[in-house]
Structure 1
Amino acid sequence: MKAVRLHEYHRSPVVEEVPEPTAKEPFDVVVKIGGAGVCRTDLHLIEGQWDGLAEITMPYTLGHENAGWVHEVGSAVTNVAVGDTVILHPTPTCGLCHACRAGNDMHCENSVFPGLNRDGGMAEYLLTSARACIKLDPSTHPADVAALADAGITAYHAVRKAVPLLYPGTVCVVNGAGGLGHIGIQSLRALTAAKVVVVDRNPDALKLAEQLGADETVLGDGSHVEAVLDLTGGHGAEVVLDFVAEQGAQQDAFAMTRRDGSHFVIGYGGTLEVPTIDLISTERNVVGNLVGTYNDLAELMVLAQTGRVTLHTRKYPLEAALDALADLDAGRVRGRAILTP
């Protein structure tokens, strides 16, 4: 089968032939990929930002946002069957550790992460586990929802955590309206009554944000922090969801957060520098966010399949993976790039 493989850091991946995976263990599931999302994390992996943070053995197949159809199942699998349409939680988990028992799947002590520390889904087939599979309505096309498996639940997870803070009358700033941010806007609309202010340096992204229900949009032109403060009476927002968190955006996000507010860091790549006196004197919170839980993804798919959350995509054939990565890096993708084997 064809797969997009990374052989070394700082060099482009290649599309090459590799053996098809098979179901060998009782809970193994092999999925025929219908759509694989292209994520900024893939760029960070190529750039070597994960070197030393995860046990990565090269070469390996990229792709951690995956959906498709069940192709083969292990002997103990009962929750899905061959032919089922599925979306995959990005971290197959053990189900036995404390984190799994508590429902915090992404902190599983024994999980793997296809596309990061084992072969991912930018391929024709992917090996995963029964615990990662969420069965979808057969009418759902995998390419239309694949990126919800990471971009979607990461954004939804952050919004879900922020919901108790966003009572009517509060303001939430969405910093970055790209692949994650445009899902965050829709999740806020579905789950809260907060006023949604979207900041982005790309006018086209702001147009999309308006279409998705943003109450206010602010162009990230260097005066955006002041603009947000003006919109909030000089106080800042109760919650800032930072879907960028690099190239200075992380500092701006903290500056847009009001006293006793919460700055949720969702994107990554930069370094947040905050004097401790600024934390204690204003009681602002900085909250880290990893990918969401299995239940987060299940809830998000309810919203998606009822039309309350829509993933805006640009599709590429698997052979054009390098084009998709280049377009993402250059900011030419509105929403999410999806590879279709």
Structure 2
Amino acid sequence: MKAVQLGKYNSEPALVDVAEPQVTSPLDVVVRVGGAGVCRTDLHIIEGQWEQKSGVTLPYTIGHENAGWVHEVGSAVTGIAVGDPVILHPLATCGLCRACRAGDDVHCVNSAFPGIDSDGGYAELIKTNARAVVKLDPSLQPVDVAALADAGLTAYHAVRKAAAALRPGDKAVVIGAGGLGHIGVQVFKALSSAEMIVVDRSPEALKLAGELGAEHLIVADGSQVDAVMDLTGGNGAEAVIDFVGEGGAIEDGVAMLRRAGNYYVIGYGGSLNVPTIDIISTEINFIGNLVGSYNDLAELMVLAAQGKVSLHTSTYSLTDFARALSDLDAGNVRGRAILVP
């Protein structure tokens, strides 16, 4: 089969012929890929940022946002059948460790992360296990939801935390309304009655955020902190949900936060440098967010089936992966880029 493999860090991946994945365990599931999301993390992987953390042996197939149709199942798999449309939780977890038994499968100590530490979905077929498979509602197509497997799941995981702490009349700042942020805006609108303030450099991204339900739109032109303070009576927002995490967004976000506020870190690439006296004197909280749980993904698929969360996508053929990565790196992708084998 064809697959996009990374053979060397800081080098362009290549489309190569590789062996098809095989069922070797009773709970294995092989999926024919219908859509693979192109994520900024893929760029970071190529640059070598994940080399030490993942420990993966090169060459391997990248791609961790995947949906498609069940191709083959192990002997112990129930509830899904060959041909079923599915979306894949990015982690293939064990179900036996303490984290899994507590429903915190994101922190499974025995997990595999296809596309990060094992072969992923920039390919015709991908192997995972039954614990990672969410069957799709008939109204949903794999290509339309693929990026929700990680980008959408991460946004849902963070926004659900924020929504649980916010009350009617509170205000929350969403920094970044691009590929990840535009999903977060929709999830926020579906889960919270707090007022949403969206900050972005792009007028097009802000226009989309407004169409998706954001009450306030602020251009990041240097006056964004003052604009947020004006909207919050000089107090700052109860929550800041940061989908950027670099390029001055963190400093702005902290300045936009009120006393006892919560700062949700999703985007990464920068550094958090806040004097500890400022943290303790205002009792602000910094909350990290990775991907969500299996249940988070199942809940997100309910919102997708209800039409409350949808992706703005640009599709590319698998053979055109290099252009997809280049467009993403250059900021030329509106919403999410999806590879279609």
Aligned residue identity for 1:2: K
Task: Report the alpha carbon displacement of residue 234 of structure 1 after superposing the two structures with TM.
Answer: 1.3
1:87 corresponds to? 87
Task: Report the alpha carbon displacement of residue 62 of structure 1 after superposing the two structures with TM.
Answer: 0.7
Q: Distance in 2 between matches of 1:279 and 1:294?
A: 33
Q: Distance in 2 between matches of 1:207 and 1:20?
A: 43
Aligned residue identity for 1:21: P
Q: Distance in 2 between matches of 1:235 and 1:51?
A: 42
Q: Secondary structure at the match of 1:30?
A: strand
Contact 1:100 1:107 (8 Å CA) reproduced: yes
Q: Distance in 2 between matches of 1:228 and 1:332?
A: 28
2:152 corresponds to? 152
2:32 corresponds to? 32
Contact 1:84 1:138 (8 Å CA) reproduced: no
Q: Secondary structure at the match of 1:32?
A: strand
Q: Secondary structure at the match of 2:54?
A: coil
2:326 corresponds to? 326
TM-score of the aligned structures, taking structure 2 as reference length? 0.98
Aligned residue identity for 2:28: D
Task: Report the alpha carbon displacement of residue 308 of structure 1 after superposing the two structures with TM.
Answer: 0.8
Residues 175-201 of structure 1: CA deviation (Å, up to 9, x unaligned): 001111111111111111010011111
Shifted more, 285-294 versus 8-17: the winner is 8-17
CA RMSD of aligned residues (A): 0.9
Q: Distance in 1 between matches of 2:78 and 2:172?
A: 42
1:247 corresponds to? 247
Task: Report the alpha carbon displacement of residue 156 of structure 1 after superposing the two structures with TM.
Answer: 0.4
Matches within 5 A, 1:252-291: 252-291=252-291
1:337 corresponds to? 337
Contact 1:79 1:130 (8 Å CA) reproduced: no
Residues 282-333 of structure 1: CA deviation (Å, up to 9, x unaligned): 1110000010000000000000011011111111111111111111111111
Aligned residue identity for 2:308: R
Task: Report the alpha carbon displacement of residue 16 of structure 1 after superposing the two structures with TM.
Answer: 1.3
Q: Point out where structure 2 has 5 or more consecutive residues left out of the alignment.
A: none
Q: Point out where structure 1 has 5 or more consecutive residues left out of the alignment.
A: none
Contact 1:63 1:115 (8 Å CA) reproduced: yes
Aligned residue identity for 1:261: G
Q: Secondary structure at the match of 1:53?
A: helix
CA separation of 1:163 and 1:226: change in aligned 2, threshold 3 A: same
Q: Distance in 2 between matches of 1:330 and 1:265?
A: 23
Shifted more, 219-228 versus 180-189: the winner is 219-228
Residues 235-278 of structure 1: CA deviation (Å, up to 9, x unaligned): 11101000000122122111111110001000111101000001
Provide runs of 4+ in structure 1 moved above 6 Å: none
TM-score of the aligned structures, taking structure 1 as reference length? 0.98
Q: Distance in 2 between matches of 1:118 and 1:151?
A: 19
Task: Report the alpha carbon displacement of residue 209 of structure 1 after superposing the two structures with TM.
Answer: 0.5
Contact 1:165 1:238 (8 Å CA) reproduced: no
Contact 1:185 1:213 (8 Å CA) reproduced: yes
Q: Secondary structure at the match of 2:4?
A: strand
Contact 1:29 1:71 (8 Å CA) reproduced: yes
State the aligned residue count: 341
2:163 is equivalent to residue 163 of structure 1: yes
Q: Distance in 1 between matches of 2:61 and 2:253?
A: 34
Q: Distance in 2 between matches of 1:43 and 1:224?
A: 28
* Identity value in percent: 66
1:305 corresponds to? 305
1:96 corresponds to? 96
1:205 corresponds to? 205
2:21 corresponds to? 21
Q: Distance in 2 between matches of 1:194 and 1:12?
A: 44
Q: Secondary structure at the match of 1:52?
A: helix
2:192 corresponds to? 192
Q: Secondary structure at the match of 1:310?
A: coil
Contact 1:114 1:121 (8 Å CA) reproduced: yes
Q: Secondary structure at the match of 1:253?
A: helix
Residues 36-57 of structure 1: CA deviation (Å, up to 9, x unaligned): 0011100111111112112111
2:73 corresponds to? 73
2:45 is equivalent to residue 45 of structure 1: yes
Q: Distance in 1 between matches of 2:7 and 2:220?
A: 36
